[in-house]
Structure 1
């Protein structure tokens, strides 16, 4: 999903009565003090019913049918995802199904409902400006994990590990149990010996993977890049990369879940 293209398409839509564009921003953030009792369910019900009651009073039967069609689809989407909610739900929909965008995001929104000629993308734009296409590169000795994200949501991950015998970085294709392998590169080397060798060769080793990371940044079209790990390791990696690095986060988080990384890096 390319959010820039999504927003461009949304902004190009204009529908006149009895058709309209439905826009919804629903705050489902469990950390929000106002959401402790699942109040979002009440807000959703009231928001949808408000439009339905207004349209009944207006008397346009065709527009009522169009809204009811979208209302049922939105309710079904929320029902299907109720056990796996994040901090917000954003929906854009049209009766002719030219537009159907429904996503859960790991960032809060202000609950708003619209039934108008155009899609209301202001909050979505603000979200994208704050969390654009972002690459998060986590370093920890001879392992490097790359997280591809957009709007604070995970899109893809890659794990690279250094083969100490060949001194070549290889993409790890199996389960990413990073913690089990970090430290000795799978070799029989003692921890002290590995640490000495790593410190002596770190800059050179990071130089050999920097071009791969630059290519990933280009292919993924990252607007921001964060390096996360030991400060000196991250600095060496940054010096070898051609792409601009937005910031260095001095924390070892290679074995943390992606959402925890987002909470720390994109806070």
Structure 2
């Protein structure tokens, strides 16, 4: 479920009595200097222990029982997913499981723990605002790669290549060809011929692919669109699209790993 849909659900949650809502944002980012020794495990244990100690002192057996049910379920989720840890863990939970949302996310979060009548949503709202459904379109002459991303994670990728002779864009199947940047052999003459054709036909070629990219944007419900490529290519492609492009990044990154591309886009 998309976070914006989950947010709408959680905003309407209000528990009563001893059945509270547990909220956890846990920083597990291995690149964080404060996490070098797996300190997130200590933060998690301390957070759980603090709530248990408070509830024991309050002598509220029913609420303590509810919290321990939630604690056990969260511990199980973390243990089952420990090998898939990314940068953060977000959890919303109640003992009766009316609320249960647990996710491993590819962005750093600030450690926060809550046990209260309503879920604490500020960080979740900020994440959804910063990393919405996004299309990243990488262009390099007669090749285009599309990265469909959400919450700083790659949902899917696909690539198009122009058949220069037929002037038809096709979805690429299998690994990229060694010299597919031109789609023509390796001799300098062939490259020179391609460059001349590219300069003469760039606008028309990108105009023919633009409707396919607009449809991707519509079908995938992109809230933001970035076009990344060499200056002339990225600018021309963005001009040919009907969908609004939020930013053009004039940098050739088609051959870069998706994680590096997303770091460039999101910072």
Shift of 1:113: 0.4
Shift of 1:193: 2.0
Shift of 1:182: 2.8
What's the secondary structure of 2:81's corresponding residue? helix
> Which structure 1 segments of 5+ residues have no match?
none
TM-score by length of 2: 0.92
What's the secondary structure of 1:156's corresponding residue? strand
Distance in 2 (alpha carbons) for counterparts of 1:84 and 1:181: 35
Provide the residue aligned with 1:180 in structure 2. 178
Distance in 2 (alpha carbons) for counterparts of 1:42 and 1:228: 41
Distance in 2 (alpha carbons) for counterparts of 1:243 and 1:43: 44
Aligned residues of 1:228 and 1:251 also touching (Cα < 8 A): yes
What's the secondary structure of 2:178's corresponding residue? helix
In terms of mean alpha carbon deviation, does 51-60 or 200-209 score higher? 51-60
**Cα root mean square deviation, aligned:** 1.8
Shift of 1:31: 2.0
Distance in 2 (alpha carbons) for counterparts of 1:99 and 1:87: 23
What's the secondary structure of 1:178's corresponding residue? coil
In terms of mean alpha carbon deviation, does 196-205 or 226-235 score higher? 196-205
Shift of 1:63: 2.0
Q: How does 1:220-235 map to 2 (within 5 A)?
A: 220-235=220-235
> Which structure 2 segments of 5+ residues have no match?
none
Aligned residue pairs: how many?
265
Provide the residue aligned with 1:22 in structure 2. 22
Shift of 1:178: 3.5
Partner deviation per Cα, 1:1-51 (whole Å, 9 max, x = no partner): 322111101111111122111111111112222112211111011111111
Q: How does 1:158-177 map to 2 (within 5 A)?
A: 158-172=158-172, 174-175=173-174, 177=175
Distance in 2 (alpha carbons) for counterparts of 1:69 and 1:136: 42
TM-score by length of 1: 0.92
